[in-house]
Structures are given as C-alpha cells and as structure tokens.
Amino acid sequence: MVGLVIVSHSWKIAEGVVDLALQMAAEHKHIIAAGGLEDKEIGTDATRIMEAIKEADEGDGVVLLADLGSGVMSAETAIELLEDEDIKVKLADAPIVEGAIAAAVEAATGGSMEEVIAAAEEARGESKLS
C-alpha cells in the first residue's frame, strides 16, 4: 500500500489531518504526521520528515502532502536526503486536507503511487459549494 506523510508547520494540523484521513480509510495504517518541530513548536524539519517517510514506506512508495512554502522545501530536502535509500517518494501538489483524504482512500483501495498522487491533486479543483 502507498504510504502517506502529512507535512505541516503545526503538529496539531498534521495529527488532525491524519485522524481525518484514517476516518475515511481506516484500513490504511501508514499515514504518518510530520508536523511541527520536535518540541511541537511551529516549523518543519527535514530530518523528522525523512523519518516519517521511512515509517510510512511499505515498499509501494510514499506520497507527501505539505501545507506551506517552507514545508514544501523541507519535504524536498527530506526526499534528497533519502536519495541513497530504496524508497520511492514524491511530493503531491495538492491541498493538505482534501488531498490527504483523496490520497488515503485511493491508497487504501490499492491504487498505485501515480493514482494516489492523481487523486490528491484532483482535490485541488473540487468546489466546496454547489
């Protein structure tokens, strides 16, 4: 199953998004929060993200979703730090909440890494109002 890592500057947001995603895809056990700094202060840390990627990996790849600009940069740095590892990992260009839900459901139903990324990125265009 494709693993997911939720990168946010806030550990509360990352944990909350994971909780919500697990409500929609309870059978998915590798959705990992990588929010905040080690002391739960606001920020992102490439090393924490790298460890979350390793934890999320089941062999089918890992998709990252990040909240803001420096979160994206920290996620990209974490991916670079894992260059020598045998982990397929990509960052999705998707909204963190809607994208995580769509990605979790797609991954839980056996979607490939490309399908999981596509599901997350499609959430970008979904209207919240009818």
Active site residue 9: yes
Torsions phi, psi of 125, nearest 5? -100, 0
Torsions phi, psi of 111, nearest 5? -65, 150
Q: In the structure encoding, which two tokens stand for residue 70, read together?
A: 């420096």
Q: How far is CA 91 from the centre of its chain?
A: 8
Active-site hit among 3, 4, 7, 9:
9
- Active-site positions read 9
